[in-house]
Amino acid sequence: MSNNFRGNFRVGRRRRQGGNFGGNRLDINRFIHKAADTCVAESYTPRNSFEGFGFCPEVVRNITKKGYASPTPIQDQSIPAILEGKDLIGLANTGTGKTAAFLLPMIDKVFKNKRNQNFSSATRKRNQNFSSTSYRSERVFIVTPTRELAQQINEELRFFAQNLGIYSTLLIGGANLNRQAQELYRNPHFVIGTPGRIRDLINRKCLNLSNFGNVILDEVDLMVDIGFIRDVEFFISLLSRERQSLFFSATISAKVNHILQSFVKNPVTVSVKTGETADLVDQDVVRVMDKNKKVDQLHQLLIQKGFDKVLIFGATKWNVERLTKELVNRGFRAAAIHGNKTQGARLRAVQEFKQGLLQVLLATDVASRGLDIPNVTHVINYEIPKTYEDYTHRIGRTGRANNKGTALTFV
């Protein structure tokens, strides 16, 4: 950050001084941290290649089309165990490639099962005396904490499963429930959803979890944090005992461990955590000397060189909406995602932000929970979050995939 920038906006220096953080007096030094000169992780040499995993050629072709050259550590260490049918506990920071780590072997499993079913059916038609194993249709159930993350998983699934005849249904709030129920009657291979909408469809008897032989809980620690622990426990109670269970979480607290014990059997554990996400981001504070000029300070930040893809967090949906309108009136390409927005509007805003059509995306903490948006240059905490954990999740949206990022907090 330039000296001129520091002079204009009075960015905080390392002084022993308290700051209002979620109603508590905390040292503002917790928002000031200089990332290492390089954020590139230690060199990792994978033991496997995508061609060497034993995926069917059709899956390998889609991986190549995606541009993946070699597996990330979580993919390299998880995929072999998943392909062997073992339960797995994956501990990894966000942005490590874990979505592909569980999607690729599941897509391969479903596709091979589908192909075997087709072969068996064709053979029986040719030879009435043919006796074959009765193949159970492989189906995959994925639970994740937020709509945006469920949508991202579904998008990645569709890319990797293109031209394979594999179908999915997305179960999230803010979308038409009756349409989702109709899609479930078609028995899609993958069902991906958030706890609230999943419970709704179970209560309507549209979704029978005992029909799924593969179950994935993603970002479990976040589901616990936002109060979905009882839903997750309810889902587990409905699952078939004969299943493959995959469990992904950044941390394992006592509550998460309670879920873990009832979910997996003799699991393989893979941990590729490389430290806290916050350690990989340049963090600083912007002092607000006059609250009436706070938005002017934000304006001056956003017109600085390098503020190309900025994620701004506010405390409430009303504050976020008000600030978005102000920035749009000032000529910025900006949009917001929060609880009062329709699901279509939220998805459209995220897509436009990803594609670079927006410079600024404003959000409540819903966006800090697992969103994977590449190349976010800056995270700005326009309003301080309730907890330091929320702060860490917010700033984790930048500095991903070994790209350097910056986080600024208004104090």
381 in a domain, yes or no?
yes
Q: What is the pLDDT of residue 10?
A: 44
Q: Which residue has the tokens 């002092």?
A: 287
Among 217, 240, 271, identify where a domain stops.
271
Among 271, 304, 335, identify where a domain stops.
271
46 in a domain, yes or no?
no
Give the CATH number of the domain where residue 320 resides.
Answer: 3.40.50.300
- Tokens found for residue 39: 């954020």
Task: Please check whether residues 28 and 138 belong to one and the same domain.
Answer: no
Task: Please check whether residues 265 and 296 belong to one and the same domain.
Answer: no
309 in a domain, yes or no?
yes
Task: Please check whether residues 228 and 281 belong to one and the same domain.
Answer: no
Task: Please check whether residues 27 and 64 belong to one and the same domain.
Answer: no
Q: What is the pLDDT of residue 135?
A: 47
Task: Please check whether residues 183 and 288 belong to one and the same domain.
Answer: no
Task: Please check whether residues 236 and 282 belong to one and the same domain.
Answer: no
Task: Please check whether residues 373 and 231 belong to one and the same domain.
Answer: no
Q: What is the pLDDT of residue 158?
A: 97
User: Can you tell me the distance from the alpha carbon of 28 to that of 30, in angstroms, rounded to the nearest whole number?
Assistant: 5
Q: What is the pLDDT of residue 369?
A: 63
45 in a domain, yes or no?
no
Q: How many domains does the structure of the chain reveal? A: 2
CA angle 70, 244, 60 (to 5 degrees): 25
Task: Please check whether residues 27 and 69 belong to one and the same domain.
Answer: no
Task: Please check whether residues 236 and 289 belong to one and the same domain.
Answer: no
Among 271, 298, 325, identify where a domain stops.
271
Could you tell me if 139 and 169 are in contact, meaning their C-beta atoms sit under 8 angstroms apart? Answer: no
Q: Which domain range does residue 199 map to?
A: 51-271
Task: Please check whether residues 214 and 267 belong to one and the same domain.
Answer: yes
Digitized pLDDT (tens) for each residue of the chain, 411 residues in all: 444 444 344 444 333 333 444 444 556 777 877 765 544 445 789 999 999 999 999 999 999 999 999 999 999 999 999 999 999 999 987 678 899 999 999 999 999 998 887 655 555 555 655 444 444 679 999 999 988 889 989 999 999 999 999 999 999 988 899 999 999 999 999 999 999 999 999 999 999 999 999 999 998 988 887 789 999 999 999 999 999 999 998 888 888 888 998 999 999 999 986 555 566 789 999 999 999 999 999 999 999 999 999 999 998 989 999 999 999 999 999 999 987 888 788 888 988 999 999 999 999 886 666 577 888 999 999 998 877 777 877 887 887 666 678 999 998
82 in a domain, yes or no?
yes
Task: Please check whether residues 267 and 282 belong to one and the same domain.
Answer: no
As to burial, measured by CB atoms within 10 angstroms (0-12 exposed, 13-18 middle, 19+ buried), residue 2 is exposed
Task: Please check whether residues 115 and 256 belong to one and the same domain.
Answer: yes
Q: What is the pLDDT of residue 125?
A: 55
